[in-house]
Amino acid sequence: LLSEHATRPALDRIALLRATLFNVLVGNADAHGKNFGLLHGNEPVGRAGVQLAPLYDLLSTLVYPDLSRRYAMKIGRAREFADVKPDDWTLFAERAGLSPAQVRRELGALAQKLPRALAETIDGSASDASDDARAMLGTALEDTTVRCEIAARHARVRAGA
């Protein structure tokens, strides 16, 4: 859809890839197609055409023990992060019309940056939070850090290796 209709398809495809990787790494199992949107026309994109909308509904569903860990959309053949293998990223890339090398590069870069960025965000905003909220944020950070460590290893594996 983006390739055919977006004003800047390459930029929007990278943005959508990064959003998907972010959702996987933070443990947002509820990231489904209706959580992504397109903007059309002159407002608010500032020009005619179609563009990926700003992201919304970003959260870690892992901090809610009663919610499923099953992804709304697969990563390769996997429905849960525990089942994602390096080859699943290759299959994901192929299905998305992206190069596996590009997906591995973006995955590795985000996996390296995300734990620190999340920790800094939590440190800067949790001072007034309740004990329960701080515990939930700590759990989100721990889970995300583990996922990022695994994803970084996946990113270093070449397709088919």
Cα(148)–Cα(156) distance, integer angstroms: 12
Which carries the bigger pLDDT value, residue 56 or residue 81?
81
Question: 1-37 burial, b for 16+ CB within 10 Å, e for fewer?
Answer: ebeeebebbeebbebbbebbbbbbbbbbbbbeeebbe
**Quick check: bond before 54 cis, omega within 30?**
no
Residues in the chain: 161
Mind listing the pLDDT tens digit for each residue in 80-138?
Answer: 999 999 999 999 999 988 999 999 999 999 999 999 999 999 888 877 888 888 888 99
The β-bridge partners of 40 are 50
- Range from 17-31, 55-69, 87-101, 142-156 carrying the lowest mean pLDDT: 55-69
Q: Give the model's pLDDT for residue 46.
A: 47
- Which residue in 12, 30, 57, 143 is the catalytic one? 30
Local confidence band at 15 (pLDDT 50, 70, 90 cut-offs) = confident
Q: Give the model's pLDDT for residue 142.
A: 95
Token look-up 């001072």 returns 127
**Annotation says 83 is catalytic:** no
Q: Give the model's pLDDT for residue 34.
A: 66
Mean pLDDT, the chain, as a whole number?
84
Q: Which amino acid is at 118?
A: L
Cα(116)–Cα(145) distance, integer angstroms: 9
Q: What is the full DSSP assignment across 141-159?
A: HHHHHHHHHHHHHHHTSPT
Cα(64)–Cα(136) distance, integer angstroms: 9
Average pLDDT over every residue of 31-56? 67
Percent of the chain predicted with pLDDT > 70: 86
For residue 71, the Cα-to-chain-centroid distance in whole angstroms is: 11
Q: Give the model's pLDDT for residue 42.
A: 58
Q: Give the model's pLDDT for residue 65.
A: 85
